[in-house]
């Protein structure tokens, strides 16, 4: 994640520098104290009081800090694409997105999904009666949208599937809703390389099949979700000017053994995301081995274009 802000006054340079130093120490695992129940992999870190909004209603204050000053009443692509609330888990992001959506002006439209099931084994005459529609509507699985999708005009959303890479419709792209039609949603892309492109989104089929269920679950729904808040993992690679972090409960910080490995450009062959034999020159900045999975080695590298890449290596023996 990159945080860009050209409007920071000179008097705030010391605060920004102190925050950057503290944040780097958190990432390096140099802060905090071990948790008594899991001394190897869990640590407690005290967040400085200067980084926590004052008052009892901290979430409301955080929303006002990010989306105050008319951002919600007079939304624009520039204003919405430059700020975000990040959280550790999807459950928290859903709560914050619903909270902000309810206080934004405009009429709300709710799209309902169509759910179907197919038996994994021999189908009986009573199969469908075992799983009524009300039960299927309540099912939620990872990477599959919920049964209900509520949106308003000017709501920022995020794509959850790769639809058309040439048109800029990739997983993680942020469009802003411009029209809510019965069978389509019109939106304008506000991030990445296709900013300003008008797109039309329709429902697609999501499938979930596991051995612990006697059926294959299929849901037809829009591949988008509100994006006033997102998970920390999804925020990787984003360029923002204003960001807030909401941690509703303690979450685990995995510690690791690290060492500096400043080297010349190194050639790494047969990367997983390219064809075998592809060569890529990288500058290895750091390498570390997790305390639990000692057979793995993680590398933080920078390519010739200045892009950071995280690579997982495993011992063959």
Q: Does the residue 242 lie in any domain?
A: no
**CA nearest 59: which of 312, 254, 229, 208?**
229
* DSSP class per residue in 66-112: HHTTTTTTS--HHHHHTEEEEESSHHHHHHHHHHHHHHSSS--EEEE
The whole-angstrom separation of Cα 113 and Cα 231 is: 24
Q: What SS3 state is found at 162?
A: coil
Shared domain for 219 and 287, answered yes or no, is no
The model's pTM: 0.69
Shared domain for 67 and 136, answered yes or no, is no
Q: Is the model's pLDDT at 259 over the cut of 90?
A: no
Shared domain for 157 and 47, answered yes or no, is no
User: Cβ–Cβ contacts within 10 Å for residue 102, how many?
Assistant: 10
Shared domain for 67 and 122, answered yes or no, is no
Q: Does the residue 247 lie in any domain?
A: no
Shared domain for 116 and 92, answered yes or no, is no
* Mean of pLDDT values over 143-168: 93
Q: How many domains does the chain have?
A: 3
Shared domain for 93 and 124, answered yes or no, is no
* Mean of pLDDT values over 147-168: 93
Shared domain for 116 and 221, answered yes or no, is yes
**Best-predicted range by mean pLDDT (72-76, 125-129, 267-271, 307-311):** 72-76
Shared domain for 124 and 209, answered yes or no, is yes
User: Cβ–Cβ contacts within 10 Å for residue 187, how many?
Assistant: 27
- By the 10 Å C-beta count (0-12 exposed, 13-18 middle, 19+ buried), 175 is classed as buried
Q: Tens digits of per-residue pLDDT, 11-57?
A: 456 666 777 788 788 777 788 888 777 666 677 888 777 777 666 57
Q: Tens digits of per-residue pLDDT, 79-126?
A: 999 999 998 888 899 999 999 999 999 999 999 999 999 888 776 667
Q: Tens digits of per-residue pLDDT, 269-297?
A: 434 444 444 555 666 666 767 665 666 67
Domain boundary among 41, 70, 102: 102
Domain boundary among 102, 134, 153: 102
Q: Does the residue 237 lie in any domain?
A: no
Q: Does the residue 276 lie in any domain?
A: yes
Q: Is the model's pLDDT at 177 over the cut of 90?
A: yes
What is the enclosing helix (H) or strand (E) of 231? strand 229-231
Shared domain for 114 and 222, answered yes or no, is yes
Q: Which two tokens stand for residue 46?
A: 């005290």
Q: Which domain holds residue 91?
A: 2-102
Domain boundary among 80, 102, 124: 102
Shared domain for 98 and 116, answered yes or no, is no
Q: Does the residue 273 lie in any domain?
A: yes
Shared domain for 298 and 223, answered yes or no, is no
Shared domain for 97 and 200, answered yes or no, is no
The whole-angstrom separation of Cα 73 and Cα 28 is: 40
Q: Does the residue 88 lie in any domain?
A: yes
Q: Does the residue 248 lie in any domain?
A: no
């Amino acid at each position: 994640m990159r945080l860009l802000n050209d409007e920071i006054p000179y008097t705030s340079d010391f605060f920004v520098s102190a925050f950057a130093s503290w944040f780097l120490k958190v990432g390096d695992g140099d802060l905090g104290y071990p948790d008594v129940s899991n001394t190897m992999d869990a640590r407690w870190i005290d967040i400085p009081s200067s980084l926590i909004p004052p008052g009892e209603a901290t979430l409301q204050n955080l929303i006002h800090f990010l989306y105050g000053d008319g951002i919600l009443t007079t939304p624009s692509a520039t204003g919405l694409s430059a700020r975000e609330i990040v959280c550790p888990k999807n459950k928290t992001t859903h709560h914050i997105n619903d909270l902000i959506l309810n206080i934004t002006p405009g009429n709300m439209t709710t799209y309902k999904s169509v759910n179907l099931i197919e038996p994994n084994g021999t189908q009986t005459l009573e199969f469908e009666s075992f799983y009524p529609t009300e039960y299927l509507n309540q099912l939620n699985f990872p990477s599959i949208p919920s049964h209900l999708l509520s949106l308003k005009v000017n709501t920022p959303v995020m794509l959850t599937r790769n639809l058309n890479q040439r048109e800029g419709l990739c997983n993680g792209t942020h469009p802003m809703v411009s029209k809510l039609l019965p069978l389509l949603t019109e939106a304008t892309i506000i991030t990445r390389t296709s900013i300003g492109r008008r797109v039309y989104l329709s429902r697609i089929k999501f499938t979930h099949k596991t051995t612990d269920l006697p059926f294959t679950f299929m849901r037809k729904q829009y591949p988008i979700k509100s994006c006033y808040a997102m998970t920390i993992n999804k925020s990787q690679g984003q360029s923002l000017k204003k960001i807030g972090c909401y941690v509703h409960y303690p979450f685990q910080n995995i510690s690791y053994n690290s060492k500096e490995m400043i080297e010349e450009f190194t050639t790494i062959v047969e990367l997983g995301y390219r064809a075998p034999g592809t060569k890529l020159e990288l500058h290895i900045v750091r390498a570390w081995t997790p305390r639990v999975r000692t057979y793995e080695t993680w590398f933080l590298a920078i390519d010739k274009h200045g892009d950071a890449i995280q690579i997982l290596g495993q011992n063959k023996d």
